[in-house]
Amino acid sequence: MGQNYSNKDELIEACKAQNAQAQFALFEKYKVAMFNMIYRICNDYDQANDYLQEGFIDVFRNIKNFRKESTLGAWIKTIMIRKALKGIRSEMAFEELNEQIQSNDLLLDQWIDGDMLDQAIRNLPESSRAVFVLYEIEGYSHEEISKMLKVSIGTSKSQLHYAKKVLQKTLSKNYYSK
């Protein structure tokens, strides 16, 4: 029977010692949450699995540098986001969107379910989807997103606004067509 790592410090130290059992335990603990986040960003099941595996290789390669300045989960999440963004960056085309940004007009007044929202998010253009997921779901600021995606803060804001408008239109259309 496998070792039970009751506290994260033991698990981290065992992973630093390249203990395969500890690495597997860490992977099992975080794989679902990390996969879901990566999948939201790249919108491709096979790519998400590839990025997840590559991301965990980076985690195990670099865990010796983990300084506990954040939680282990936050540290792993940062690695996974960078891996996914690096993978899709070449496919992303950021267009300057010349629309007035007025977020108050982006309200949905009808009920929607999680599956409808998830599908609508997956159908967003890659650049808008990445910004939307990072800002609205993962909680990053526009400044952080602009650094991660290597775009201006204004581009991040306009992509978020565009994503919200597309989502509003898509969800309204889906709601009223039922």
| Residue ranges for the chain with pLDDT beneath 50 | 1, 98-109, 176, 178
Q: What is the pLDDT of residue 113?
A: 62
| List of long-range contacts for 117-123, beta carbons under 8 Å, 24+ apart | 117/167, 117/171, 120/166, 120/167, 120/170, 120/171, 120/174, 121/40, 121/167, 122/40, 122/43, 123/170
Q: What is the pLDDT of residue 94?
A: 55
112 in Cβ contact with 176 (< 8 Å): no
Q: What is the pLDDT of residue 108?
A: 47
In tens, the pLDDT along 109-127 reads 455 566 777 888 888 888 8
Q: What is the pLDDT of residue 148?
A: 87
Domains of the chain: 8-89 (1.10.1740.10), 103-176 (1.10.10.10)
Q: Is the pTM of this model over 0.75?
A: no
In tens, the pLDDT along 20-38 reads 999 999 999 999 999 999 9
25 in Cβ contact with 13 (< 8 Å): no
